[in-house]
Structure 1
């Protein structure tokens, strides 16, 4: 394996090679340890035409880091890469010194199940997706002999959905209150979330130039973990219409020193929302639940699915169907009654 040695203010990386029956070493000096590590990892991946790594003492945790920095770092958004960094810590704790050539679906599944005992199915699934990605990469390079990633399953606790859509009754109650109390800018943030279905980061990313007559141009997204302001997906760039009543209140908000309309508020929007809903005696939901509420209300009013999908900024209609086709209670009860009436009329 490569070695990194500090020499004064610099770092020397050294990689061992074995060619034509002789051991050789190549070295290179860098100003930072991170640069030295990345060069060493890249050299390890390249040597021997990419077929020797699994026959050495490379652990899966080390390989995941190699893959994460050399492959994924340049392919994903900065905020997404932060998720890989968090997954890296989990994987290192789970797999410890287990080597690539000791891996199979049973070994990996046991580790996944160990993690799933104390985590939700959703959280576990996010880690499993990254494990699968690294394993498929290792198989494609010839570092492991079997492509068993497809056999792995996500388990874990199925928790009650936190971001539930509000009922139509509660939606009207909340919307009426925030419209009548525009003196608190947070109320206007809630109002705009209900009105547009925008993600929290997109709402916080609104600048004065993004507010056009009776509409919002979605161009930026603010993250609590990164300075990256790019949107989540390509289709997230969109223009959303709003009615005059909401527009007249939004344009009154003074621009902040950082150039945005809303205060970031330490990214405590969900906590403040919980306090507001308790005050109004409305069942709690998360800030993302306001997005669900917007979508569910449009569905309940028979708005075209294609329009709703574009308004939400989804990449395709299937995403909209999978995650947001959840009718509000009142609408479901009405459709149950309509279905029974139709059957009784047979």
Structure 2
């Protein structure tokens, strides 16, 4: 049973814990007796529910590391697991030796706010998602009294979007150049295929000669700079994507010169190569992933079925695909603005 002893102006509450044949004590000091009684009673109730109170003294960084190395390792792709491993150092620096029992939404929020001072909101949010997931697991294990992860918010710098879709005119200009100069540099063929299929960089780098057939490419693997695994990002990433005759000819001509993989990884410097190419053509900056957004936005602008576009991009759900509606081609937006104004003007005419 719990005991409460007055010491000077304060009250010390003690709860006895038992594990592996040994007794332990959990103590905490309060300025008034009522708070001490509430704390002691809550721990006694937790004991009665079979919660593992002793493990609540585990430092959060240690718990987080164990969670990543034992739980997440078997749940996620190798590349994703490596990303989780990188966050361990961040958690160790932020939380040092703070024990699980001393964590609450205020403590975690302050630490995350400090991290956000030097990181983008997107990066901070990605860390928050991992923290929330670990706290949910900790709550299920009974080593924290409640799951307060949903109360924590991500702040940080809002950086300009880098994956900017090209306009229709820029799309045509880049595609035409790559077709006309396919023999100059194999990167032009890689860019051409990215525009044509909307495939991810790793998926294109993972293409082999046997993955090419007339009017389509088969995406069966992905190559990453951070992992030896060739596993695709999602279940639906394994797919066939149709291509035009002229693009097929360009890819086939290059494939005939290779032994296995069609494209060289080139140290995964495709982003640098793309910036040089765009600058040469006086086309606005975007990333290699921006070519994927360009492909999706172009298809949206032509009113193709969202279900078809989702499957073509290898998304797990249509919900993921719908996010691309936020980045419509500029020409499509102007047209929609005009259509919206015409509808509004028609209201006055009808009256």
Determine if the TM-score, normalized by the shorter chain, exceeds 0.5: yes
RMSD: 1.7
Other-structure match for 2:94: 94
1:51 Cα shift? 1.3
1:43-73 deviations in Å (ceiling 9; x for gaps): xxxxxx87145343x1110000011111110
Other-structure match for 2:5: none
8 A Cα contact 1:185 1:262, kept in partner: yes
1:56-113 deviations in Å (ceiling 9; x for gaps): 3x11100000111111101111000011011111111111111111100000000011
Other-structure match for 1:117: 117
Q: Secondary structure at the match of 1:166?
A: coil
1:212 Cα shift? 1.5
Other-structure match for 2:30: none
- Residues 1:328 and 2:329 aligned together: yes
1:344 Cα shift? 1.6
Other-structure match for 2:66: 66
8 A Cα contact 2:179 2:192, kept in partner: yes
Other-structure match for 2:291: 290
Other-structure match for 2:254: 253
Other-structure match for 1:163: 163
Gaps spanning 5+ residues in structure 1: where?
Answer: 1-16, 24-48
- Greater Cα shift, 119-128 or 320-329: 320-329
Q: How many residues align?
A: 304
The 1-side partners of 2:250 and 2:66 are apart by: 50
8 A Cα contact 1:163 1:292, kept in partner: yes
1:232-252 deviations in Å (ceiling 9; x for gaps): 000111110001110011011
Relative to 1, partners in 2 of residues 1:21 and 1:343: Cα closer, same or farther, differing over 3 Å? closer
1:155 Cα shift? 1.0
8 A Cα contact 1:205 1:222, kept in partner: yes
Paired residues for 1:105-254 under 5 Å:
105-183=105-183, 184-254=185-255
The 2-side partners of 1:284 and 1:22 are apart by: 65
Paired residues for 1:256-275 under 5 Å:
259-275=260-276
- Residues 1:312 and 2:305 aligned together: no
The 1-side partners of 2:301 and 2:23 are apart by: 73
1:293 Cα shift? 0.1
The 1-side partners of 2:75 and 2:93 are apart by: 25
Other-structure match for 1:43: none
The 1-side partners of 2:195 and 2:20 are apart by: 65
Q: Secondary structure at the match of 2:74?
A: coil
